[in-house]
Amino acid sequence: EVQLVESGGGLIQPGESLRLSCVASGFTVTSTYMSWVRQAPGKGLEWVSVIDSGGSTFYADSVKGRFTTSRDNSKNILYLQMNSLRAEDTAVYYCARGSPGNRYGSRFDYWGQGTLITVSS
């Protein structure tokens, strides 16, 4: 059974850093593309980043240069390193599995439960 479990959320001050983890089970994170998607309170979904099976990454302009997506293949974990956090980064962060078969896309067949990041002083 495919499962994604995020962790690492919490309250953090502007300018600080935080790393989110997404533990995957039931498949290997290198077998398909994986994305982070966030949702600010009361708002819609916003795509954040993708890492493809080969390890290439792309980012939304809103986080480019501040966030880094990586993975630990041996532990089957996806990470999101977030630096220079801002109030507008406050959101629930989901990791999502891209449906196997494409290098990347917007077809996410499994989602984690999400972890809340609150950036506030």
Partner 1 sequence: QSVLTQPPSASGTPGQRVTMSCSGSSSNIGSNPVNWYQQLPGTAPKLLICNTDQRPSGVPDRFSGSKSGTSASLAISGLQSEDEADYYCAAWDDSLKGAVFGGGTKLTVL
Classify 87 as helix, strand or coil: helix
| 52-111 positions binding partner 1, by CB under 8 A | 58-61, 94, 99, 104-109, 111
Closest CA to 115 of 23, 14, 33: 23
CB of 81 to partner 1, least distance (A): 18
Q: 75 or 103, CB closer to partner 1?
A: 103
Quick check: 1 binds partner 1 (CB under 8 A)?
no
- Residue among 36, 25, 73 nearest 53 (CA): 73
The count of chain residues that interact with partner 1, using the rule CB under 8 A, is 23
CA atoms within 13 A on the CB side of 24: 26
Binding residues (CB under 8 A) for partner 1: these are: 35, 37, 44-47, 50, 58-61, 94, 99, 104-109, 111-114
